[in-house]
Amino acid sequence: MTPEELSTAISACLTEAVAAGEITVDLPDTVRVERPKSREHGDWATNIALQLGKKAGMAPRDFAQLLSARLSQVPGVSSVDIAGPGFLNITLDAAAAGELARTIVEAGSAYGHNQSLNGQVINMEFVSANPTGPLHIGHTRWAALGDAIARVLRASGAAVTSEYYINDAGNQMNVFATSVYNRMHSLPVPEGGYPGEYIQELADIVLEQAPQLKDEPLETALPQIRELAYAAQMADIKRTLADFGVSFDVYFSEATLHNAGAVNDAVARLREQGHVFDDAGAVWLRTTDFGDDKDRVMIRANGEPTYFAADAAYYLSKKDRGFEQKIYLLGADHHGYVNRLKSIAACAGDDPSHNIEVLIGQLISVNGAKLSKRAGNIIELRDLIEWIGADALRYSLARYPADSPIALDPEQLRKNSNDNPVYYVQYAHARSRAAARQAEAKGVTRGEFDASLLTHATENDLLAVLGQLPSVVAGAAESREPHRIARYLEQVAAAYHSWYAATRITPVGEDTQVTAEHSTRLWLNDATSQVLANGLGLLGVSAPEKM
RNA sequence: GCCUCCGUAGCUCAGUGGAUAGAGCGUCUGUCUCCGGAACAGAAGGUCGAAGGUUCGAUUCCUUUCGGGGGCACCA
């Protein structure tokens, strides 16, 4: 029996009690079932009687008494105790609890998936680094976290499109191209230009593809240099993301918005909505109507659209493409942008509390990281991957809530020990696979399964933890907090290691007789592998067979 | 000045309107004739920054306050 099934059973008992006239109260959609901290309090506990007792005009303990009478009749429920002010402590039959092992193995990679976000159509934009240089540490956290959030949302039934917005318009692209041009001619870095060594690499690539550009003056060479260097830089970014295990469904070019007139269209559409006005030669969006602290310019007095105008057009594009929810993942340095983005949504007639969601992540730092020589004074993502490893890096970043500032300690992350949580979890997976291989060699198979044999205290604990994956995934999706998965996996690993130390999957010593206990434990072992693999998969971290 | 995030064990950090606030590291004590010791069992270590308020119950929610990080462009 899974906690979800127990929750459903409690809801059914409540409904029956209402129908029988025993209680009069509005029932919640779902009943929360929790694993009590203390084992003395049974397998599962609920505080539903405390919540509903008062509303039903009853003492919580009396309410608990009524519910307990019905609940103890449910098949699989061994006993129900009322504790303290009205907690219901529920103990399951070993067989009912153990059945979960089979449920998980049979569900396979689908275990943990849930329908909590069914029907939601979500656009998630993250990273969106400028195409004028390599990815650096500032992009790393969202690359790891954003990708994990997308996976968690999908596992909860949402249709998610992950999107990378390329800021390939505006003067910065000309500055970028000029920087490359100057490198081609060994000229100094232009005013405000890009200094890193990677510019030289881009210059080499451009010259290789179009050697004639070397003899052309800046004005005529610039457009082609811009295109070639841009393409090379985006290829580099995509390669680094791929090495990090991150892929995007859509790479959206800002330039295409300008070229297709979408920016001007956006101004016109927002004007129709009544939120655009002209002042001092510029065109403004009255974002103060929706809580922004000042109105924002869309078209400058010189006729050039602002970056903000492109953002408005981009938002409308997402809306037009049918995304009900648009999630933006931004660094803390973009905090001031949140109200503006929300105002765009409001000006477009959307509900800023529903159709747009801006997640702000605190910045990270890495102690003692080497600064990239090729890119100037930044820490490059590709260097971090090479130094720490993609798995350790992704896990470490996914392990903390986005709003918590973190300082990574690379020396710790490079260690193959318990200092390093990713190894703890990965090791548990590798160990469980090794145990399965060992079992096979000793003739243990999953042929026989008798859940009532899973009676050891560590088996009860392990089963309880394994049963929580679906609700943990749903919770992580709802709150956009994949770190809950990581923390959960550490619990799974701990429960597995305890179980492993306390019981045997294979016959030991002279006793070579394979029993139903062995084969049943193999089911539990394999169920654990599956939960660890599924959870790590949601974080974009590998689940190794061997380490 | 305004906005926002953080403040929990010696360190790095989880967590929760409820029963005894947790993990790892560090410190201390144990566990290998046997499936992977990258492990397990246990001990010590806390006025949950402070003060008010709401509540049957607050570390959690609200207000104030102290300390720290980040942000407040006709830049992109």
Q: Are A168 and A132 in contact (CB under 8 A)?
A: no
Minimum-distance residue to B70 (CA–C1')? A332
Q: Are A399 and A486 in contact (CB under 8 A)?
A: yes
Minimum-distance residue to B35 (CA–C1')? A435
Q: Do both A142 and A246 map to the same domain?
A: yes
Proportion of chain A above pLDDT 70, given as a percent: 96
DSSP 8-state secondary structure symbol assigned to residue A543 = -
| A115 part of a folded domain | no
Minimum-distance residue to B7 (CA–C1')? A404
Q: Do both A136 and A251 map to the same domain?
A: yes
Over residues A345-371, the mean pLDDT reads 84
Q: Do both A379 and A481 map to the same domain?
A: no
pLDDT for the residue numbered A366: 75
Q: What is the CATH number of the domain that holds A42?
A: 3.30.1360.70
| A313 part of a folded domain | no
Q: For the segment A259-281, what is each residue's pLDDT rounded down to a tens digit?
A: 999 999 999 999 999 999 999 89
The spacing between the Cα labelled CA in A285 and the C1' in B38, in angstroms, equals 58
Q: Are A489 and A536 in contact (CB under 8 A)?
A: yes
List the domain range (segments joined by +) for residue A199. Answer: 126-256+362-410
Domain boundary among A352, A387, A410: A410
The spacing between the Cα labelled CA in A397 and the C1' in B14, in angstroms, equals 14
Amino acid making up residue A479: S
Over residues A521-536, the mean pLDDT reads 96
DSSP string, A286-345: -GGGGT-SS-EEEE-TTSPBPHHHHHHHHHHHHHHTT-SEEEEEEEGGGGGGHHHHHHHH
Q: For the segment A32-65, what is each residue's pLDDT rounded down to a tens digit?
A: 888 887 777 788 888 888 888 777 878 888 888 8
Of A111, A159, A106, A148, which is closest to residue A470 (Cα–Cα)? Answer: A111
| A337 part of a folded domain | no
The spacing between the Cα labelled CA in A66 and the C1' in B38, in angstroms, equals 50
Q: Do both A438 and A533 map to the same domain?
A: yes
| A547 part of a folded domain | no
Instruction: Point out which residues pair with A251 in neighbouring strands.
Output: A164
| A264 part of a folded domain | no
Does residue A282 have a pLDDT over 70?
A: yes
- Distance between start and end Cα atoms, chain A: 33
Over residues A238-261, the mean pLDDT reads 95
The spacing between the Cα labelled CA in A453 and the C1' in B31, in angstroms, equals 26
Q: What is the CATH number of the domain that holds A466?
A: 1.10.730.10
The spacing between the Cα labelled CA in A463 and the C1' in B22, in angstroms, equals 20
The spacing between the Cα labelled CA in A333 and the C1' in B7, in angstroms, equals 21
The spacing between the Cα labelled CA in A408 and the C1' in B13, in angstroms, equals 12
Nearest nucleotide relative to A408: CA against C1': B12
Nearest nucleotide relative to A365: CA against C1': B69
Six-digit token pair at A86? 């009205």
Nearest nucleotide relative to A421: CA against C1': B24
Domain boundary among A410, A444, A473: A410
Q: Do both A27 and A152 map to the same domain?
A: no
ipTM comes to: 0.93
Q: Do both A424 and A405 map to the same domain?
A: no
Nearest nucleotide relative to A417: CA against C1': B38
pLDDT for the residue numbered A510: 66
Separation of alpha carbons A379 and A134, rounded Å: 10
The spacing between the Cα labelled CA in A318 and the C1' in B63, in angstroms, equals 40
Does residue A147 have a pLDDT over 90?
A: yes
Q: For the segment A194-211, what is each residue's pLDDT rounded down to a tens digit?
A: 988 899 999 999 999 999
Over residues A332-336, the mean pLDDT reads 82
Nearest nucleotide relative to A427: CA against C1': B38
Q: For the segment A209-237, what is each residue's pLDDT rounded down to a tens digit?
A: 999 999 999 999 999 999 999 999 999 99
The spacing between the Cα labelled CA in A363 and the C1' in B68, in angstroms, equals 15
Nearest nucleotide relative to A436: CA against C1': B35
Q: Are A470 and A116 in contact (CB under 8 A)?
A: no
pLDDT for the residue numbered A319: 96
Query: CA distances (Å), A187 to each of A184, A191, A367, in order?
Result: 8, 12, 35
Chain B positions under 7 Å from a protein CB?
A: 2-6, 12-15, 18-26, 34-41, 56, 68-76
Q: Do both A164 and A216 map to the same domain?
A: yes
**A388 confidence band (pLDDT: 50, 70, 90):** confident
**A137 confidence band (pLDDT: 50, 70, 90):** confident
Minimum-distance residue to B74 (CA–C1')? A300
Q: Do both A143 and A251 map to the same domain?
A: yes
| A154 part of a folded domain | yes
Q: Do both A225 and A131 map to the same domain?
A: yes
Minimum-distance residue to B69 (CA–C1')? A405
Q: How many domains does chain A have?
A: 3
| A496 part of a folded domain | yes
Q: Do both A163 and A189 map to the same domain?
A: yes
Nearest nucleotide relative to A415: CA against C1': B38
pLDDT for the residue numbered A371: 67
Q: Which long-range contacts (CB under 8 A, 24 or more apart) does A6-9 make?
A: A6/A33, A6/A44, A6/A77, A6/A90, A6/A92, A7/A31, A7/A32, A7/A33, A7/A46, A9/A71, A9/A74, A9/A77
Work out the number of other CB atoms within 10 angstroms of the CB of residue A527.
24
Nearest nucleotide relative to A295: CA against C1': B74
| A113 part of a folded domain | no
Q: What is the CATH number of the domain that holds A241?
A: 3.40.50.620
DSSP 3-state of A92? strand
The spacing between the Cα labelled CA in A481 and the C1' in B18, in angstroms, equals 24
Domain boundary among A410, A437, A468: A410
Q: Do both A427 and A372 map to the same domain?
A: no
For residue A67, give the H/E element and its range: helix A60-71
The spacing between the Cα labelled CA in A46 and the C1' in B15, in angstroms, equals 18
Q: Do both A451 and A480 map to the same domain?
A: yes
